[in-house]
Structure 1
Amino acid sequence: MKRRHCLAACALLAEPVGGQALRPLAIGFDEGSPPTMYSVGGMPAARGIYPAVVAAAFASLGLECELQALPFKRMLSAVDASHMWAGAVIRTPEREQRWLFSQPYFLEKLAVFSGGAPYRGIADLGGKRVGVIRGWSYGDEFDGGRRRGDFLCEEVASDSLNFAKLLRGRLDYVVATELGGRLLARAPAYAGRVVESPVPLGATPIHLAAHRLQESVAALLAQFNAAAERLHREGRIEALVRREMASAAALLP
């Protein structure tokens, strides 16, 4: 897609400033989930696998994006107010009432971590304290058990906070992305003390999304889908994953 066509498609998504060129498309990501999406040193720029993939897809369309890292719930509120797009979310029935979604561009595997307590399936969470990220959804089965009160979820802003609570005995289990949890479990503070269950919690497809009332959203999402598919075919997403994993690992204390 040529740059002028892409800019025309997003003309109603960002207001011109003083008659100048359109502002970059604002896309929000969680600030505390390395290596998939995070910030460094409190800076607002989003880093990680998901921002890298989204940026590469839009760059191939000739569209500049502003990738912002912020608390996940604050990002969700900004999307509901049509102030930005959601860069990496899963589809839920509640969100589908308000948002339009891209095709999945990544499959996020979820793992269960503990200090040694066995995990053979979601029934083992019954009556336990489970650490999760504030505002996240973890799939229908987990979310349903949470609503029923089968287990108690404690929300924090990052996996590292949950791992610290786990070591202090304030949690029985932590649910984290496989990539993020494994990366953190290798850090000196947790190595040998935090155990990943061999049984995964599951996997959730990751989407780009925006409020359905915004103009031209469907057209831009279709173009993003095609661009992301090209990245997959060319092996570029795998290369981005390797690069971002190495960058996040270098930040471990």
Structure 2
Amino acid sequence: MSSAGDLAKKRAFLLGCALLCATALPPARAQTAPRTIPLLLGDALDAKGKQKPMLAWRRKLFDQLEQELGVTFDIKVYPWPRAERNAREGAGLIFGLPKTPERERALRYSDAAASNTLWLVTRSDATFPFQRLYDLRGKTVGAVRGYSYGDEFERQRNRLFRVDEDIASRASRLQRLLLKRVDAVLLYQPSWETAPEIEANIRGFIAPYARELGIPPAVSLSVLPHPVQVENGQHFAIAPGQDDGLIERINAALARLRKTVATR
């Protein structure tokens, strides 16, 4: 039978072995949470002024970049003027803000992550020939408040043609068109969509509103066949003081994603 002293020594020996084994094991790898990056977007509203769900292609792009970069985007949606102001003040990354020389002095832009085309929509009974901005002379054009449509458009704004600004609600702007408050509405669509495809979609979209407004059944909407702008790049951008290599990492990730698509 072991004495009390021998039992105590045995317990001490076993405890020492356990501690030795514990210190010999490599430390558990810390699970670091993905870096969270505020991502600022301009709003897109429905007919009731409520935020619309994010477009599927845009959600897919953000998901892919999160995986490529090992980050989490904290999406914050504002009216475009506020989103741009916040980005300039260093509140986060912004997506979809068109390039202008002045903005490129204030923000660091990524390569194009996607592209879109700018179209003109009219009432189907009030179309007109369009090839260049000069063809808008004397007309009233519906646009999103606070959004820029390129240098040449901005130079001619309220000089060659009048711009009627409204909230970022497609339904609201197209209803104003049906009611003849404007002669045409500017509409950005992904570059892979054709004018006939867009026209079919917006005719289906606006039909219930047209009935409510008492618009004659024969009247709908038309997309003019010649776009205002083509292949407008959609970029990420950030204030230079907040860019710790993020834009370069985004560019590299976009290149990898393009290569993956090209090899499928």
Normalising by structure 2, we get a TM-score of 0.70
Q: Where in structure 2 are the equivalents of 1:29-68 lying within 5 Å?
A: 29-32=41-44, 41-42=50-51, 46-68=54-76
Normalising by structure 1, we get a TM-score of 0.73
- Kept after mapping to 2: 8 A contact 1:109/1:202: yes
The reply to whether residue 209 of structure 1 matches residue 219 of structure 2 is no
Per-residue deviation, 1:48? 4.5
In 2, Cα distance between equivalents of 1:134 and 1:152: 13
Runs of 5+ unmatched residues, structure 1 = 1-19, 35-39, 239-253
Per-residue deviation, 1:31? 1.7
Specify which structure has the higher proportion of helix.
2
The reply to whether residue 140 of structure 1 matches residue 148 of structure 2 is no
In 2, Cα distance between equivalents of 1:41 and 1:152: 27
Alignment coverage as a number of residue pairs? 209
Residue 83 of structure 2 aligns with which residue?
75
Per-residue deviation, 1:29? 1.2
- Kept after mapping to 1: 8 A contact 2:34/2:70: no
Per-residue deviation, 1:196? 0.1
In 1, Cα distance between equivalents of 2:59 and 2:78: 13
Runs of 5+ unmatched residues, structure 2 = 1-31, 211-216
In 2, Cα distance between equivalents of 1:33 and 1:49: 18
Per-residue deviation, 1:227? 1.1
The reply to whether residue 196 of structure 1 matches residue 190 of structure 2 is no
Residue 38 of structure 2 aligns with which residue?
26
Q: Where in structure 2 are the equivalents of 1:1-253 lying within 5 Å?
A: 24-32=36-44, 41-42=50-51, 46-115=54-123, 116-121=126-131, 122-146=133-157, 149-157=159-167, 158-179=169-190, 182=199, 183-187=201-205, 188-189=207-208, 193-203=220-230, 204-216=232-244, 219-235=245-261
Q: 1:135 to 1:49 in 2, by over 3 A?
A: farther
- Superposition RMSD on alpha carbons, in Å? 2.8
Percent same amino acid at aligned positions?
22
- Kept after mapping to 1: 8 A contact 2:45/2:51: no
In 2, Cα distance between equivalents of 1:75 and 1:82: 11
Structure 1 outlier segments of 4+, above 4 Å: 20-23, 45-48, 179-182
Deviations 1:206-232 (A, max 9, x none): 11001112241xx11111111112222
- Kept after mapping to 2: 8 A contact 1:29/1:68: yes
Q: 1:52 to 1:88 in 2, by over 3 A?
A: farther
- Kept after mapping to 2: 8 A contact 1:113/1:176: yes
Q: Based on CA coordinates, which of the two structures has the bigger radius of gyration?
A: 2
